[in-house]
Structure 1
Amino acid sequence: MKKLMKKRWMSLLLTLMICMGTLWSSVVPVYASMADEAMPYTMGETYRGQHFYSKYYSFTLKEKTHVSLRATTYDGTVEFYIYNSNGKKFLDSDNVKYTKNVTTDVYKGTASRTLSKGTYYLQIYDSNREYYFTLNADKTITLAKGNITSLKSNKSGQLIVSCKSVPYAIGYRIQYSTDYRFRKGVKTIYSPVRIKTLTKLSKGKRYYVRVTPYTVYTDGEHAWGATSYVKSAAVKK
């Protein structure tokens, strides 16, 4: 009985060692390769490449940053990945959105991620296609919550929405509906100013309004503040 138990434990231990060895061999060399082979990348610079298999670049962020990738490839797409120094993947090739010019066979790829402070590695897997890429960094923008300071109807069929100014916001998304749950009939407008008149409203109806401040990074991705509390007012007849 003891011999049987010993054999089972030895078999289990051997299986565990094989699994750990496989995991170690498949993970550690990849991370070590990135650190050893990576060339330093300067944010905002455009780099050219054309090679087989993988090439690595490293960059360091001093604070939480919105990083955007722009790539131009020829005769097909190129794979881009971003890892941190621990090997955790933050960008997969499937996350890069490509558009193709059917006339020139040129592809344009874009992707973005918000990354914390630290060192990162960009892996580029190529099949001897010419490519160009640029990484841009924008300081992460945190917007305050929207705040409606006034909602009133001075004229028939109109509502005037006033909201508190939010630093770094370039505009305000205003949503309004006669349904207080915003499940139906929701209309949305974007205003570059904090005071906006809503027109062509149903006279005598009560409308519910909420506001969300927003801004846009250089790559076109939006950053949003939290949506305000809902306020309501009856439209003048």
Structure 2
Amino acid sequence: MVKSWYLLFWKFKGGPDWIVEQELAEKALKSWRNNMIKEHEQYQDELKDINQMEVMPAPAPAPPPLGPMIREICINSGAAFTRLRCHLTNDVCYNLGVHPVTPVIHICEDETRFSDLLKGIPDYLDQFVQEEYYKPMAASCGVVQENIFEFNEDSNQKYLHSFVDVFRCCSVQVPKYLYLKYLEEGLLDQSHTIGQPHDLKDLEFFFEK
């Protein structure tokens, strides 16, 4: 019976809930980070060995630490990103000032960026346990519906218009503090490569008090 129950849900990767199990979720995220760093170090060692070979082998796919951050979150890597899927992942990245395709290792190896992620996930999800969210959602339940499990277009529209920041949006109004963060990270500079140092000398006037 236990095995059958496991097989029923094995595709749905779960993990500690960021709202009701935040301490465990933080532990999972830190464990995920450590694993990414270790895997990256192993990859670097393998590259050194390959570079010493006389005949170069065919290039292998980039390991997860060099992959995009959005993929790790969407697949709930390490069971560290429970509750987050496509649109929430995009919105989390937007609010943290992280480009969705930022290499994972760029976040994991930087204390400040990882701390922002560790704090940013629960801060973002907190809106979904506030009265401003659940009251309008609850008020829509069962409105002109014989089947309470039927897709509720009223709730859907309220959600899309009030609680989706950037997912599938053509344009958004970016708060000043977030815009300045994008500038600081070089995300608005087409010549900038994510993960490389960004020269701020031409942007000093933006940061003047």
Question: Higher helix proportion, which one?
Answer: 2
TM-score by length of 1: 0.18
TM-score by length of 2: 0.20
> Larger Cα Rg: Structure 1 or Structure 2?
1
Question: Higher strand proportion, which one?
Answer: 1
